[in-house]
Structure 1
Amino acid sequence: MQIAFDNSYARLPDRFYATLAPTPVEKPSLIKVNEPLARDLGLDPVALTTPEGLAVLAGNKVPKGASPLAQAYAGHQFGGWVPQLGDGRAVLLGEVIDRHGQRRDIQLKGSGPTPFSRRGDGRAWLGPVLREYVVSEAMQALGIPTTRALAAVATGEPVYRERAFPGAVLTRVASSHIRVGTFQYFAARGDEEALRALTDHAMARHYPQAETPLDLLSAVVAAQARLIAHWMGVGFIHGVMNTDNMSIAGETIDYGPCAFMDAYHPDQVFSSIDRMGRYAYRRQPEIAVWNLAQFATALLPIMGMDHKEAVAVATREVEGFADLFTAAWEEVFAAKLGFARLDEARAALAYDLLARMARGKADFTQVFRSLSGVDPSLARDEFGDQTALDDWLPRWQAHLDEEGTDDATRRARMQAANPAFIPRNHRVEQAIAAAVAGDFTPFERLTLVLATPYTDQPDHADLMAAPAPEEEVPATFCGT
């Protein structure tokens, strides 16, 4: 099995990481290989299923050309500063250039303890591995920037949390694993040399048009504005938007207690550790700003200007998030409502719909998908009070008529923006429970259906449905 590694992060100074190999596991077995992604990376998917390939994916063999390492970073976790975090249960094997000319990290998650484990076991149990596989690949199919899942492997060893669970390793692929917290790590240590090296590396890798630290800040602010707007458009709640979980590449990273809303409410929280609602659905844009302010603060020492001026220009860049996010949000919700664009009146119409959905506890995904159909009035069925949209629907139609949008154009535009299928919490949990019992059929079905989320799939209509009351999942967990 050949992997054409070209490991640029490993060429950075030693203090950026700890060099170590993954910890071998007892009895690995393959759960799934993502064949299309393997081919995109220039890998042979068949080779990944061989004993040698399995050994690599399990962490039992380091392939030729790899430079395995655990990255160092710091971060604010729920607003509290932690000066050293780092990859506590992950090892970056190396980087490849994919078939589109893009550099991609290949990382093993759940591969054993590292110097950053903080007394943890460095392992992952099967549930979080399958959740990240399902949700990250669903996000890719939804068109939202994300890390990817190349493979999942069972370790044949137990992992102990509240009880014993089967262990697993996820092979994760990302444009990079550089986080806001990576910059914070060196800024907190006053290591300007490392900050400059990291900034140059990040610009060359992700934003080659950028020439200065301020350019990098501007690019990351814009990327995050677009990303969070897309999250909001599918009802996604990350759950742990700590600065160490914000990728400077603008990708969704670290799928811990994440969830997609069923019934819409702007204050919805799922994460079992988010007791104060810091990372609730509606707060995600403001938390992104908070995180970006920490990123800007980390860059101040290398801005090349006096401190007061650096603070002023960095503040302006971070404050620019609001307009960028609003523009991206309006683009997302214009498409969701069948418009070419949102003016002030149509934006008010969108906000009015969301307010009605919150009052009526209407399913976020189903309302927009129903509006996308031949008979938009079927969206009424998602509300307890079926008169909730009686005066809204005619106003919406009037705006469509004003724009000159014919029905076929409306349906095409909306069905390309409003998925029929999302990774519903109860379905993910059911797939995990079945897999723990040895049945991976529900997991395979989920990954198959979610690969084309905007397509009606009548044979799988049950996966579209909101949960029955007894199926609702009120809380999600990190699994660490």
Structure 2
Amino acid sequence: MVMHIPFDNTYAHLGPLFYSKQLPEPVTAPQLIAFNQPLADLLQVSGNSAQEQAQVFAGNQMPSGADPLAQAYAGHQFGTYNPQLGDGRAILLGEVLGQDGKRYDIQLKGSGRTPYSRRGDGRAWLGPVLREYVISEAMHALGIPTTRALAAVATGETVWREGGMPGAVLTRVAASHLRVGTFQLFAARGEIAALRQLTDYAINRHYPQAQGPMGLLRAVRDAQARLIAAWMSVGFIHGVMNTDNSSISGETIDYGPCAFMDHYRADQVFSSIDRMGRYAYSNQPSIAVWNLAQLATALIQQLDDPQQAVDEATEIVHAMPALIEAEWLRLFRRKIGLETAQDADMELISELLELLEQGQADFTNVFAALGDGDARDQFLAPEAFDGWERRWRQRCAQEQDPKAVMRAANPVYIPRNHRIEEMIADAVAGDLSLFERMQQVLANPFTVQADAEDLRRPPQENEVVAATFCGT
């Protein structure tokens, strides 16, 4: 059966200011590594031939209805504005309407040079492709808004980074690829008509109830506040929260030097390029507010009364920290079994996090063990946990079913950094078994699974991953 993708493209209608038409660069010998059949079913993508899937998702063959393009955007990178970024190694094939009635982008990542490549080769190597495939699908299973992975294809070519690496292409699915940096591009250029066009498009596509630019700003704020709190609740560190990596739809996008914490540290940084800790775990809420302020600055440019717009935008942005904290508190209450709210809950949660940091305890395993009653064993000095546990049990006695709440809130399995690195090393050597196994286990992260204890285990001292790297 010939592959069918029911494209229904709208972004391409915005005009050439927004993108460059661009075909993917063909590759030598594409081979299918993975294909996400449940996601394909949602997108109504049909076709049973692995050979054809490899050709399409490597970029060698364009399915009917595709309108390939590279999107233009700008962005602040580590606080410094870059006026011209864009898809330097990605091609948007087009959009589809899923069986759920929602619109999705289908994008090839690692598909070759574009006008935005800036001396880059536009390619990706196998490691970052498999990392994003596994982590994005794990985030989806955790219930956290995210881009998803439809396919991974080996190219049969060598990509040169520190040395020669096997090349690969990821097919990424997103509610859209609109970023804060997309709005910044037109605002900085003074292209107000294009900025208004983009604003209307974003509202119609994502937030049809929003009223005008400030309504869009408020909707993005609320979605981003929920997203950041969700990241914090599972110990996720994005690693590179530049405005070009901040999605208007409120999804997690661009899994570069991301990581999940093992031992809890509020100032934990993994990204090898984040030398000042700008995007540390505990800084993510404040950076989300900073990014929203950049979106506000861009949106204001199109309004007729700038001073009134500044006042309204300031109020919207200044409300974000409290929204993040409220959602953070709701999620962390659930992590310790609480569905009702009391004033002392914040102090109780904060004390536990301090104990985790002082006791070098594993973030994921401690919270998972609370529901089983054996969290004490997770601490180097367990006696420090005892006083907190007594107060916590007294608080839980006021709840209806705290164990059920905790088991629904606390994952047993996360994509642990040392296992991701092991998976990549195995795959480079030709062994995909750990990649496939991690997908299977992480698809059900809240359920203890037979023969998966090794995927729960924190790293030994010689397994600790101290730094993660951008996939470019």
TM-score (structure 2 length as normaliser): 0.99
Question: For the residues of structure 1 that align with 2:402 and 2:235, how far apart are their CA atoms?
Answer: 21
Partner in structure 2 of residue 340 of structure 1? 339
Cα pair 2:235 2:364 within 8 Å, conserved: yes
Deviation at 1:347, TM superposition (A): 1.2
Matches within 5 A, 1:61-100: 61-100=61-100
Contact 1:330 1:341 (C-alpha < 8 Å) held by counterparts: no
Bigger CA drift: 146-155 or 308-317?
Answer: 308-317
SS at match of 2:301: helix
Alignment partner, residue 150 of structure 1: 150
Q: Which runs of 5+ in 1 are unaligned?
A: none
Q: Distance in 2 between matches of 1:400 and 1:433?
A: 44
SS of the residue 1:390 aligns to? helix
Match 2:35 to one of 33, 36, 53: 33
**Aligned-pair distance for 1:205?**
0.4
CA–CA separation in structure 2 for the residues paired with 1:9 and 1:162:
36
Alpha-carbon distance between aligned partners in 1 of 2:130 and 2:322, rounded to the nearest angstrom: 36
Q: What is the alpha-carbon distance in structure 2 between the residues aligned to residue 188 and residue 458 of structure 1?
A: 55
- Summarize deviations over 1:393-439 as a string: whole Å, max 9, x none: 010011111x243xxx2111101100000000000000000000000
2:196 counterpart residue number: 196
| Contact map agreement 2:4 2:47 (CA 8 A) in 1 | no
| Aligned residue in 1 for 2:17 | 15
SS in 2 for 1:429: helix
Q: Who is 1:182 aligned against?
A: 182
Contact 1:108/1:172 (<8 A) preserved: yes
Once the two structures are TM-superposed, the CA of residue 45 in structure 1 deviates from its matched residue by: 5.6
The secondary structure found in structure 2 opposite 1:459 is coil
Seen in structure 2, the aligned counterparts of structure 1 residues 441 and 45 have a Cα distance that, compared at 3 Å, is farther
Partner of 2:45: 43
For residue 291 of structure 1, what is the aligned residue in structure 2?
291
CA drift of 1:298 comes to: 0.2
Counterpart secondary structure, 2:108? strand
Q: Deviations over 1:70-91 (max 9, x none)?
A: 0000000000110000000000
Aligned to 1:322: 321
C-alpha contact (below 8 Å) 2:426/2:432 kept by paired residues: yes
Written as runs of structure 1 = structure 2, the 5 A alignment for 1:328-367 is 328-367=327-366
- Partners of 1:211 and 1:391 in 2: how far apart? 51
Amino acid at match of 1:459: D
Query: Are 2:389 and 1:393 aligned?
Result: yes
Q: Quote the Cα distance in structure 1 between the aligned partners of 2:98 and 2:290.
A: 33
CA contact (8 A) 1:161 1:479 kept: no
Structure 2 distance, partners of 1:20, 1:341, is 53
Change (3 A) 1:207 1:458: same
What is the DSSP-based 3-state SS (H/G/I as helix, E as strand, rest coil) of the residue aligned with 1:392? helix
Show the counterpart of 2:375: 379
1:52-451 aligned at under 5 Å gives the runs 52-305=52-305, 307-373=306-372, 376=373, 378-401=374-397, 403-405=398-400, 409-451=401-443
Map Cα deviations across residues 359-380 of structure 1 (whole Å, 9 max, x no partner): 111100000000011xx2x212
Q: Does structure 2 conserve the Cα–Cα contact (< 8 Å) formed by 1:109 and 1:170?
A: yes
Q: Check the 8 A contact 1:6/1:95 in 2, yes or no.
A: yes
Q: CA deviation at 1:458?
A: 2.8
Q: CA RMSD for the aligned pairs? A: 0.8
CA contact (8 A) 1:357 1:383 kept: yes
What percent of counterpart residues are identical? 61
Report the AA paired with residue 11 of structure 1: H
Query: Counterpart amino acid of 1:240?
Result: V
Deviates more, 1:53-62 or 1:152-161: 53-62
Deviations 1:201-255 (A, max 9, x none): 0000000101200000000000000000000000000000000000000000000
Alpha-carbon distance in structure 1 between the residues aligned to 2:138 and 2:114: 30
- The letter of the residue matching 2:377 is D
CA contact (8 A) 1:335 1:341 kept: no
Cα deviation for residue 63 of structure 1 reads 1.1
Residue 303 of structure 1, CA deviation: 3.0
Structure 2 CA distance for aligned equivalents of residues 140 and 341 of structure 1: 27
What displacement does 1:327 show? 1.4
CA distance in 1, matches of 2:167, 2:213: 41
Whether contact under 8 Å (1:35, 1:45) holds in the other structure is no
Aligned AA (1:415): R
Residues 283-340 of structure 1 deviation map (CA, whole Å, 9 limit, x = unaligned): 00000000000000000112342x2221111010011111211111111111101001
Separation in structure 2 between the aligned mates of residue 452 and residue 372 of structure 1, nearest angstrom: 17
The one-letter amino acid paired with 1:30 is L
Spell out, residue by residue over 1:55-100, the C-alpha distance to the aligned partner (whole angstroms, 9 max, x if none): 1100001111000000000000000110000000000000000000
Q: What's the secondary structure of 1:344's corresponding residue? A: coil
SS in 2 for 1:152: strand
AA at the equivalent of 1:423: P
Distance 1:404 1:446 in 2: 35
What is the aligned length? 470
Match of 1:454 in 2: 446
1:468 alignment counterpart: 460
Which runs of at least 4 in structure 1 moved beyond 6 Å after TM superposition?
A: none
Instruction: State which drifts further: 349-358 or 37-46.
Output: 37-46
| Offset, 1:343 | 2.4
SS in 2 for 1:154: strand
Q: Distance in 1 between matches of 2:169 and 2:340?
A: 44
Q: TM-score, normalised by structure 1?
A: 0.97
The separation in 2 between residues aligned to 1:166 and 1:303, in whole angstroms, is 49
**AA of the residue aligned to 1:364:** F
